[in-house]
Chains A and B, each alone.
Chain A
Amino acid sequence: MSRYSIFSLARNALSHHERWPEAWRSPDPKPSYDVIIIGGGGHGLATAYYLAKEHGITNVAVLEKGWLGGGNTGRNTTIVRSNYLLEPNAYLYEHSMKLWEGLTHDLNYNVMLSQRGVINLAHSDPQVDAHMRRGNAMRLNGIDAEFLDRKQIQAKVPILDCSSNARFPVMGGLLQPRGGTARHDAVAWGYARAADSRGVDIIQNCEVTGIRMEGGRITGVETTRGPITAKKLGMAVAGHTSHVGAMAGLRLPIESHVLQALVTEPIKPVLDTVVTFGAGHLYVSQSDKGELVMGGDIDGYNTYTQRGNLPMIGHVVAAAVTLFPIFSRLRVMRTWGGIVDMSMDGSPFICKTPVDGLYLNGGWCYGGFKATPASGWVFAHTIAEDRPHPLNEAFTLDRFARGHAIDEKGMGPAPEAH
């Protein structure tokens, strides 16, 4: 792999940028691999990269039925943060935050991490208490957190309606200064390029249609490009976790739902931080191009269609205009949806499965993007060592049976409520 640098940029400028080498190869699948990862999104590609980098396992293929990062990696609202209350979540997401902070240099690919801060607004006394409690828990776990009162919020976000006439007056907010955004496509491409340079085969347009097992052990997969044998198989397929899992006989504590997002037309810089409005289901940031990027809640019923319905878009836009009256005359340019695998407690699974040699990375609900680096890092460890890393040993499939759900929001087994 030729390294990207100021010199490679200058050199390629001389040839009018027509001779850039391909960022990764497109090999035909080999008949056999040590490890196959199903799913060429951020999590799958990161897993392959860390398998090669941290564990020296390079006879690895990533199988992707469409194109790299065409699923939720390219459909999220690019927010990264680690502002979690419960310890398993705090440790995992904070590890991710630390990996984010060095990722551009590690991958030699600009993931455009922008630590512009993430503010969770509070609109009632109980919400203020809950945010302060979470902020204290974060600080005890070594994560940065700061509670801002209404005046501090207003100073930081001048366009936010912090007046007492607001429909839901702002009482304060919890800020994680190190949170922010990252360029989501670049994360997939950067991991793909870095994994490929270490010998990983990235195979696009290759859908897994069956999982081969012998005596309760994985032996390989059937694909649209023929059968491939493998000693170990990792799943990182987000919204399709249930149906890929079913190929190996698994029934999982997961429902598939659609989460929508939208962008407005681009405008000049007005918002230099991420603002979330938990009471009304909105999170918003401004992209480098000037578009306001917004998301809200899932539509709320099981679906596999990668498109949502208008009522949730209306709800999100109404919340945005309530908080930011200045947005009221913007046009919405695009809306889209991604299929998220909602787990029964809102927390993911990164674990072994009842099938020997089959490993699961899923149940990310709508929090998967920010976890991408740590998710790949601990999943690679789990696959390479055949046991979880301490950072992911709580994220098992049997945690409900054992009474150890990781229910960050205290919603119980109602995926549509997480």
Chain B
Amino acid sequence: MFNIRCPWCGDRPAIEFAYGGDASQPRPDAPEALSDEAWHDYLFIRDNPAGPHAEYWQHTGGCRQWLTALRNTTTHEILATASPGQPLDGERT
């Protein structure tokens, strides 16, 4: 079990959060202008790193806010958390 630092609620056990997947690829701004290949890459392709991984979580058992986290996938250490769209420096924004 590990804790995730919610930018609003502080350190809380991971069981309070729901995983939202890879946050390293931002959703494309203008989908209608996007090529099929770029859509495919956004939807289906993952870097899947062994190490720091940017990802979404939602604090479903708490404030229900979404957040981004940088977590080491080989140790489960949470390196930083932030409000989505903000830099992952661990500070509340």
Tell me the bound Cα distance from A310 to B14 in angstroms.
11
* A303, B73: Cβ atoms closer than 8 Å: yes
Q: Which residues of A lie under 8 Å from residue B71 when comparing CB positions?
A: 301
Q: A199 interface residue, CB < 8 Å from B?
A: no
- 0/1 string, B43-77, CB within 8 A of A gives 1: 11111111001010000000000000001011110
Interface residues of A in 223-273 (CB under 8 A from B): 240, 242-243, 251-256
Residue of B nearest to A416 (CB): B19
The one of A242, A253, A311, A414 in contact with B21, judged by C-beta atoms closer than 8 angstroms, is A414
The reply on A302 being an interface residue by CB < 8 A is yes
Which of B21, B36, B41: most chain A CB closer than 10 A? B21
A302 touches B48 (CB 8 A): yes
Known: A310-B1, A401-B36. A253 touches B44 (CB 8 A): yes
Residue on B nearest A307 in the bound complex, by CB = B76
B37 — which chain A residues lie within 8 A by C-beta?
401
Interface size class of B (residues with CB under 8 A): 20 to 34
Kindly identify which residue among B43, B48, B73, B74 contacts A413, using a CB–CB cutoff of 8 Å.
Answer: B43
* B27 adjacent to chain A (CB < 8 Å): no
The residue that A253 contacts in the complex, of B14, B45, B55, B74, with Cβ under 8 A, is B45
Interface hub of A242, A300, A303, A414 (most chain B Cβ within 10 A): A303
Assess whether A309 is interfacial by the CB under 8 Å rule: yes
State the Cβ distance, A399 to closest chain B Cβ, in Å: 10
CB distance from A66 to the nearest CB of B (A): 16
CA distance A243 to B1 in the complex (A): 25
Residue of B nearest to A412 (CB): B43
Tell me the bound Cα distance from A304 to B47 in angstroms.
Answer: 13
User: Considering the chains assembled together, what is the distance between the CA atoms of A269 and B6 in angstroms?
Assistant: 47
- Chain B residue contacts of A416, Cβ below 8 A: 19, 21
> Are A413 and B53 touching (Cβ within 8 A)?
no
- Whether A311 pairs with B74 at a CB distance below 8 angstroms is no
Q: Which residues of B contact A170 (CB under 8 A)?
A: none
**Which residue, of A240, A253, A302, A311, has the highest number of chain B Cβ atoms within 10 A?**
A302
B15 cross-chain contacts in A, Cβ below 8 A? 311
Interface assignment of A344: CB less than 8 Å from any CB of chain B = yes
With contacts A253-B45, A413-B44 known, is A304 near B1, CB below 8 A?
A: no
- Among residues 43 to 61 in chain A, which have CB atoms less than 8 Å away from a CB atom of chain B? none
A interface size (C-beta, 8 A): 25
B82 to chain A, nearest CB (A): 17
Residues of A within 8 A of B50 (CB): 240, 243, 256, 304
User: B75 and A305: CB pair below 8 A?
Assistant: yes
Give Cα A256–Cα B48 distance, bound, in whole angstroms: 7
Assess whether B1 is in contact with A311, with CB atoms less than 8 Å apart. yes
User: Could you tell me if B45 and A256 are in contact, using CB atoms closer than 8 angstroms?
Assistant: no
| A400 on interface, CB distance cutoff 8 Å | yes
CA distance A413 to B2 in the complex (A): 26
> Could you say which residues of chain A place their CB within 8 Å of the CB of B55?
301-302
Q: How far is the CA of A42 from the CA of B59 in the complex (A)?
A: 39
Question: Across the interface, do A344 and B44 meet the contact criterion of CB distance under 8 Å?
Answer: yes
* CB <8 Å contact, B19 and A300: yes
- Decide if B40 touches A254 in the complex (CB within 8 Å): no
Do A309 and B2 touch (CB < 8 A)? yes
A254 and B44 CA atoms in complex are apart in Å by 8
CB-based contact A255/B19 at 8 Å: no
Q: Looking at B2, B44, B55, which has the most chain A CB atoms within 10 Å of its CB? A: B44
Chain B residues within 8 Å of A, Cβ to Cβ = 1-2, 14-15, 19, 21-22, 36-37, 40-41, 43-50, 53, 55, 71, 73-76
| Sampled A-B contacts (23; CB under 8 Å) | A242-B48, A242-B49, A243-B49, A251-B46, A252-B45, A252-B48, A253-B46, A255-B46, A256-B48, A302-B22, A304-B50, A304-B74, A309-B2, A309-B14, A309-B76, A310-B1, A311-B1, A311-B14, A400-B40, A401-B36, A401-B44, A413-B43, A416-B19
